[in-house]
Amino acid sequence: MSFGGGLSDSLKGLSVSDDDSEVEDCLVIGIDFGTTYSGVAWSTRVELERSQMNFITSWPDNAREEGKVPTELWYDDTGEPIWGYSIPADADPFRWFKLLLLHREDLDPELCESSFLIKAQIMLKESGKTAVDLVADYLRLLWEHIMSTIEKARGESVVEALVFHVIVTVPAIWKGYARQAMEEAVKKSGILNFRLAGTTKLVFAPEPEVAAFSTLLEQGSSIRPGNVYVICDAGGGTVDLISYEVKNTKPIILQEVVIGTGGLCGGIFIDQAFEHMCSGRLGSKWKRLSKEGIRDIMRTAWEYGIKPQFKSPQSAKQYIVALPAEAFRDQGTAGLDDTKRKPHIKNGRIYFDGSDIKKVFEGVFADISKLVEGQIQKAAEKGLSVTGIILVGGLGASPYLYDYLKNIHSKAGIVVLQSGGVKPRTAICRGAVLKGFLEAQNSQQDGGFGTSTIGVESRVSRASYGITCYILIGPDHHDEEDKDIEWNSLEGRHVLSNQMQWYLRRCDDETPPTRKIDNVRKLGEICCNLDVQFSDLPYHSKDEFGTVTKQLNFDIELVPSGASVEFVLYVNGRKQGSEYAKIDFA
């Protein structure tokens, strides 16, 4: 499979020298683990230089080629997990379990009240499993299919010789503890199991960022410095948005200009509205339908037929839904027709017109439009004019959503773009593969942009980050009633405890407090193995019992990396730990 010309030309910048074995012998696998659907793309260095990327479109127990597989999991009577399209039609599977990795206080209030999430939480509690267990089981089955697919395409011996770089996409708003839980699930799934070819590298990448990578590269020479794009990732459950300004084009350097926002207005709510419309029209006939019958209508007639094709409510086209025979059980042939009101039922089929289908979309689309408008307004507050809106995700491929937003924003000179390529629903996993190769290339260039095709120069912080500490009381401190004054036996004097040292301040916040007060939440604790011996540390003091205290002088460096915030600890100028200091999240 090949990309269009714009992306093909841009990928030339990913070329690396033939003696660079670390990149050359690498297989990058991008996994878009979504709330309702998941997708996978993969490529070797040589394939990518030829503008070739591979997508998994064949899934177990599904005859159609699909760019994604349902993020659903069900356990049979023996406790064995079954996933995706293999789940029986009459089963009640786990859905939305990706969101169970998040603490309730970090979920949008609207999301907390969602019937989908509430049901997932109840099922999780009844199952005796954890959210990490569910994610790990799903990823294990997905990974087995990924390996089977790639080995069939390239040969088992060839794949065994390749080093793996696995890029898993996560929402930009996820906090550290959620990414840590995701990492635990990835490890439990077996993705990082020992391989003779070398250690599998795992990277988490923000979903909007990798979506921007793949879609902006497709635009080729049409983008200009100063262009501002709103990336609208319209998925099955949620819609997430983020805005980037193009700072440079050779290579493409992006700067995040508006903090990401999102809402509970994904494609599943359109599905829900269509099902409600069908059940309302059929009345008692709908109650006769089995789960298999309802799924046949929703998947075959709606999801594969009307939903992705619907474009204009003004069209004279009729949208016909064939009803299962069980809906007319015991009614004879006379029950097959009902033309007393619209939409008409004729010969066991419902005949919808464009205005009927429009009603299914309009509530969700209005919510998406508000989110887009919010990004445009926030950009305007910073003196920036939005150039374009880029649609990605399953719902983002809808031609009707494209026309809907185009009609709203075209008068303001804002263009609406849809992620193209051969598979419009694969922008995120496609971008994840590009991210993997760019990271491998940049690591050879001391972390700089070098000859990379695209990169993000700066991001808007979602929070202020710092550490608690104590400070010595100076002679000018006269508040003896200060509640933070305490005796420090190591210092042999009174100090001000519970103080904050900030490393990163959120741009649009007021100055963060100098003390740890109620609105300062504990992120976690930094843990690190040191390469310095106690005997080598400088002397500090000795107490009355003869206990010697030594002093450790260190520096902490905060490194924002898109999908995470890393802390690096230095002692005597040397980085501690194998890579960086680990955070034990609270």
Task: Judge if 379 and 514 occupy the same domain.
Answer: no
Which residue, 415, 398, 322, is CA-closest to 364?
A: 398
- Classify residue 27: in a domain, yes or no: yes
**SS3 state of residue 184:** helix
The pTM of this model reads 0.84
Q: How many CA atoms lie within 13 A of 241 on its CB side?
A: 28
Task: Judge if 399 and 520 occupy the same domain.
Answer: no
Q: With 90 as the cut, is the pLDDT of residue 226 above it? A: yes
* Average pLDDT taken over every residue of the chain: 86
Which domain-ending residue is among 458, 476, 504? 458
Residue pLDDT, tens place only, 238-296: 899 999 999 998 888 999 998 888 888 999 999 999 999 999 999 999 999 999 999 99
Give the domain extent around 298. 267-360
Lowest pLDDT segment from 122-126, 482-486, 533-537, 581-585: 581-585
Residue 303 CB: number of other CB atoms within 10 A?
Answer: 17
Q: With 90 as the cut, is the pLDDT of residue 546 above it? A: no
Which domain-ending residue is among 441, 458, 475? 458
93: CATH: 3.30.420.40
Residue pLDDT, tens place only, 121-157: 999 999 999 999 999 999 999 999 999 999 999 999 9
Alpha carbon distance, N-terminus to C-terminus of the chain: 45
- Classify residue 385: in a domain, yes or no: yes
Q: What is the DSSP letter of 537?
A: S
Give me the pLDDT at residue 395, please: 92
Which residue, 278, 269, 270, is CA-closest to 320?
A: 278
Task: Judge if 296 and 393 occupy the same domain.
Answer: no
Q: With 60 as the cut, is the pLDDT of residue 482 above it? A: yes
Which residue, 249, 207, 244, 164, is CA-closest to 440?
A: 164
Lowest pLDDT segment from 200-204, 233-237, 313-317: 313-317
Give me the pLDDT at residue 152, please: 96
What token pair was written down for 346?
């004729």
Give me the pLDDT at residue 574, please: 85
Residue pLDDT, tens place only, 451-460: 457 788 777 7
pLDDT band with cut points at 50, 70 and 90 for residue 423: low
- Classify residue 547: in a domain, yes or no: yes
- Classify residue 58: in a domain, yes or no: yes
Task: Judge if 495 and 384 occupy the same domain.
Answer: no
Task: Judge if 382 and 244 occupy the same domain.
Answer: yes
- Classify residue 402: in a domain, yes or no: yes
- Classify residue 130: in a domain, yes or no: yes
Number of H helices, E strands in the chain: 16, 28
Task: Judge if 158 and 109 occupy the same domain.
Answer: yes
Task: Judge if 549 and 471 occupy the same domain.
Answer: yes
Task: Judge if 313 and 243 occupy the same domain.
Answer: no
Task: Judge if 443 and 542 occupy the same domain.
Answer: no
Which domain-ending residue is among 360, 385, 412? 360
Which residue, 18, 31, 24, is CA-closest to 440?
A: 24
pLDDT band with cut points at 50, 70 and 90 for residue 114: confident
Task: Judge if 181 and 285 occupy the same domain.
Answer: no
Residue 372: alpha-carbon gap to chain centroid = 18
Q: With 80 as the cut, is the pLDDT of residue 419 above it? A: no
Give me the pLDDT at residue 41, please: 96
Which residue, 364, 369, 350, 343, is CA-closest to 270?
A: 364
Lowest pLDDT segment from 375-379, 548-552, 567-571: 567-571
Would you say how long the chain is, in residues? Answer: 586
Mark 192-230 as b/e (b = at least 16 C-beta within 10 Å).
beeeeeeebbbbbbbbbbbbbbbbbbbbeeebeeebbbb
pLDDT band with cut points at 50, 70 and 90 for residue 15: very low
Cβ contacts of 231 within 8 Å, gap of 6 or more: 208, 211, 212, 215, 241, 242, 243, 244, 390, 392
- Classify residue 96: in a domain, yes or no: yes
Q: With 50 as the cut, is the pLDDT of residue 17 above it? A: no
Which residue, 258, 224, 228, 259, is CA-closest to 390?
A: 228
Q: Pseudo-torsion of CA 319, 235, 94, 179, nearest 10°?
A: 170
- Classify residue 531: in a domain, yes or no: yes
63 or 80, which is more confident?
Answer: 80
∠ CA 517-522-524, rounded to 5°: 155
CA distance 438 to 435: 5
Give me the pLDDT at residue 450, please: 42
Give me the pLDDT at residue 480, please: 58
Give me the pLDDT at residue 38, please: 96
**SS3 state of residue 106:** helix
Task: Judge if 488 and 441 occupy the same domain.
Answer: no
pLDDT band with cut points at 50, 70 and 90 for residue 573: confident
* Domain total of the chain: 4
**SS3 state of residue 431:** helix
Task: Judge if 322 and 390 occupy the same domain.
Answer: no
